[in-house]
Amino acid sequence: MVKYLSCLAVLLLFIIVACNSNNYRDEEYVAIPDFNFPKSTKFKEKLSEYKIFEGSPADLLPSKDFHLLELSSTLFTDYSQKQRLVKLPVGTKMKKLTDGSIEFPNGTILTKTFFYYNDDRDQSLGKKIIETRLEIKENDVWNIATYIWNKEQTEATLETNGLETKISWISENGTMRSTNYQVPTENQCMTCHQSNSKLTPLGPTLRNLNRIVSRHSSNLNQIEYLQSVGLLNEFDVNQIDYIVDYKNTEESLTDRSRAYLDMNCAHCHNPKGWDKSTQRPFDFRYETPLEQTGILRKKEKVVNTMIRGKMPFIGTTMLDEEGIELLLEFTESL
């Protein structure tokens, strides 16, 4: 108990530091190489050319060709909200492969839009959209690009060199928060979005899509819904494992913690990730037995690295206070 309380004290100290400064990371620098992954498509200059949304773009209302995807556990990105969509070429489907992964047909477009509600307690007070990231598969090659939304929230423009923008909002507990949100460069996106040195999607796995969603005023399994509208091939959903929502306190501490590590760390820390990360003695995939993850040997290092702001390596400017608290509780229980 004493050790646990001491860890909480350290946590609170670093939270206070983080809340008063956006520059919480150590000065240690790790160079990201130029990955030079092959490209098979040329991205359009304006997001509107893809006809993703209908009506006012700021409403983020998907057009009839784009379909909502919801994940059980999501990546932490400075407390931003995210909308995920998929568009498939007419007459094609996503397919379940023998290893349980998804094969997307050529011509697939995946979108992820990052935004903040002005006040998390009342969504009707509006939002600010920061960026939309596209992944397009052509000739069996995934391509990735980022579009930055204008101040008027009417259009987004292709940007490969990244961007820093000030964002402020009111959190669910009524606290005013702000940060210098960082849009990644094209090459930074490739750091995490890779497997066996090839670009790949991260979030939309069958396991992470295997959850209950609301569609047309009905609650139903998302995989079964995708099958019913012809977006996914037929198979028994009971064949698919699922990952828990790590924010759901009714789930077990172990499952929540493993889900958090899977979504926020395992895209790099797995045997097929960026080679710089695979040199570390960790494998944070949800399905990896605990004894093989490296957590038991290095549990203090796992949490302390996050508290010091050294991980996640890119994609955040703020500490994930709730995530760190979750992992502290988990590692202390081992």
- Regarding whether 234 and 178 lie in a shared domain, the answer is yes
pLDDT band at 20 (very low <50, low <70, confident <90, very high): very low
Q: Which of the pair, 188 or 164, is modelled with greater confidence?
A: 164
Q: Which of the pair, 85 or 6, is modelled with greater confidence?
A: 85
Residue 203 confidence (pLDDT): 86
Alpha carbon distance 63, 156 (integer Å)? 16
Per the rule left: phi > 0, alpha: psi between -120 and 50, beta: everything else, 317 is: alpha
Average pLDDT estimate for 257-278: 86
Q: What is the pTM of this model?
A: 0.90
Neighbours of 212 (CB within 10 A): 11
Average pLDDT estimate for 115-144: 97
- Regarding whether 264 and 187 lie in a shared domain, the answer is no
Handedness of CA 179, 180, 186, 188 (dihedral sign): negative
Residue 177 confidence (pLDDT): 97
pLDDT above 90 for 310? no
pLDDT band at 279 (very low <50, low <70, confident <90, very high): confident
Residue 268 confidence (pLDDT): 87
Which structural domain, as residue segments, surrounds residue 130? 36-243
- Regarding whether 63 and 186 lie in a shared domain, the answer is yes
- Regarding whether 75 and 6 lie in a shared domain, the answer is no
Residue 15 confidence (pLDDT): 46
Residue 202 confidence (pLDDT): 87
Residue 29 confidence (pLDDT): 55
Weakest mean pLDDT among 147-151, 158-162, 202-206, 249-253: 202-206
Q: What is the pLDDT of residues 29-85, one digit of tens each?
A: 567 888 888 999 999 999 999 999 999 999 999 999 999 999 999 999 999 999 999
Q: Which of 214, 243, 272 is the last residue of a domain?
A: 243
- Regarding whether 326 and 287 lie in a shared domain, the answer is yes
Q: Which of 243, 264, 299 is the last residue of a domain?
A: 243
Residue 165 confidence (pLDDT): 96
pLDDT band at 27 (very low <50, low <70, confident <90, very high): very low
- Regarding whether 174 and 141 lie in a shared domain, the answer is yes
- Regarding whether 202 and 173 lie in a shared domain, the answer is yes
- Asked if residues 267 and 288 have their Cβ atoms less than 8 Å apart, the reply is no
Q: Which of 219, 243, 267 is the last residue of a domain?
A: 243
- Asked if residues 206 and 100 have their Cβ atoms less than 8 Å apart, the reply is yes
Q: What is the pLDDT of residues 70-124, one digit of tens each?
A: 999 999 999 999 999 999 999 999 999 988 889 999 999 999 999 999 999 999 9
pLDDT above 60 for 233? yes
Cα angle 33, 146, 196; round to 5? 45
pLDDT above 90 for 6? no
Average pLDDT estimate for 299-318: 86
- Regarding whether 45 and 25 lie in a shared domain, the answer is no
* Backbone Cα Rg of the chain: 20
pLDDT band at 191 (very low <50, low <70, confident <90, very high): confident
- Regarding whether 42 and 162 lie in a shared domain, the answer is yes
- Regarding whether 43 and 26 lie in a shared domain, the answer is no
pLDDT band at 245 (very low <50, low <70, confident <90, very high): very high
- Regarding whether 255 and 237 lie in a shared domain, the answer is no
- Regarding whether 304 and 161 lie in a shared domain, the answer is no
pLDDT above 80 for 8? no
**Number of domains forming the structure of the chain:** 2
CA dihedral 189, 190, 192, 198 (to 10 degrees): 150
Displacement of CA 223 from its chain's centroid (Å):
19
Return the residue matching tokens 């399994």: 221
Alpha carbon distance 149, 34 (integer Å)? 26
Percent of the chain's residues with pLDDT above 70 = 91
